[in-house]
A and B are shown apart, each in its own frame.
Chain A
Amino acid sequence: MKHLKTSRAPISQKAFVPTAPENVDTIGGTVTVHINSKTLSVPFGTTILEACRMSDIYIPTLCAHEDLGIGGHCRLCLVDVEGMRTLQASCAFPITAPIKVKTSTISVRKARKHIMELLLSEHVGECYACVKNGNCELQTLAKEMGVDAYMFGHPNVSKYPVDRSSYSVIRDMDKCINCRRCVRTCIDLQEVGCPRSYWQRSRNSYRYIYG
């Protein structure tokens, strides 16, 4: 149990986690999982992502954060669960029954690469002209997945003006990939809900407003 990271979110904002028996050794306290021919027994209600991190199996993530609630927006952490019709986001899949999981089948890797290409097709600008060059999660993951050409295009024309109205935060919406960490942090941890996102139909994109 010591591997499980506790969320700092207030109780009202915590995601639903099925209640486990207090004593893990009792019947039903742990669930057996097969991940890539490894057999684990994890506490009831652990997500697949946590189980994989316990046993050093790598899964790429962008929107998942241990302090925040369940997101499941970026879909980069897709895994193949046996018996399911579609691929499942491992950060949003609590294990409540014995399942078999595969984390690097061909379809999973293809889906991850497609999703990364899609994210990069809305990510304006070149990496070398960026402040975060060399210290960027998106860049690292793109390199890992072997994105060598932009399959679905890559915009170079800026869509949004850079917001420098605050002294502490500079906001460049051209770089936004809609992981919603900023929105979820303000809702889950601060319980303020200052940044809000709303879907703008005329432009087919999210607009984030502060205040």
Chain B
Amino acid sequence: MFLKTFMEFFVEESCGQCTPCRIGNQKLLEGVEMIEKNQYTFAHINNLKELGETMKIASKCGLGQSSPNPFLSILEDFKEEIFHSKSDGVYK
């Protein structure tokens, strides 16, 4: 998925000083990987979305403040494409 390359970039480029950016980006990447393997729950995705909003306001520098933007906007704007495979199956 295109989003995965974004999140891998942010995980790699994070300097690792402040907590929300260092661990938050890793959690977002894990979430993307879970979506890719169809192993997600919607509750967890909502948790990650809230985490993204927190990272936007809690990080120290501009990288951490802008890194959840692709995650949030892609999940918001391409909802149907991403969650399509799940929509005819059972919601977990």
Binding site for B on A (CB under 8 A): 72-75, 78, 85-87, 89, 107, 110-111, 114-115, 118-119, 121-122, 151-152, 178, 199, 201, 204-206
Contact = CB atoms under 8 A, between A and B. Distances in A.
B60 A115 contact: no
Given A73-B18, A75-B19, A111 B27 contact: no
B70 to A, nearest CB: 19
Given A118-B20, A118-B27, A178-B16, A75 B60 contact: yes
A111 B18 contact: no
Nearest to B27: A152
Contacts of A204: 11-12, 26
A122 B23 contact: yes
Contacts of B59: 75, 86
A75 B16 contact: no
Given A111-B58, A115-B19, A118-B27, 5 more contacts: A73-B17, A86-B56, A87-B58, A111-B20, A204-B12
B47 A152 contact: yes
A73 B19 contact: yes
16 contacts: A72-B60, A73-B17, A74-B19, A75-B19, A75-B60, A86-B56, A87-B57, A110-B54, A111-B20, A114-B24, A118-B51, A119-B19, A119-B23, A199-B16, A204-B11, A204-B12
B80 interface: no
A115 B20 contact: yes
B12 A86 contact: no
Interface in B18-67: 18-20, 22-24, 26-27, 47, 50-51, 54, 56-60, 65
A27 B28 CA distance: 50
B18 A72 contact: yes
A205 B23 CA distance: 9
A206 B50 CA distance: 26
B60 A89 contact: yes
Contacts of A89: 60
A85 B24 CA distance: 20
Given A72-B60, A111-B54, A151-B47, A118 B23 contact: yes
Contacts of B26: 204
B15 interface: yes
B88 to A, nearest CB: 29
Contacts of A151: 47
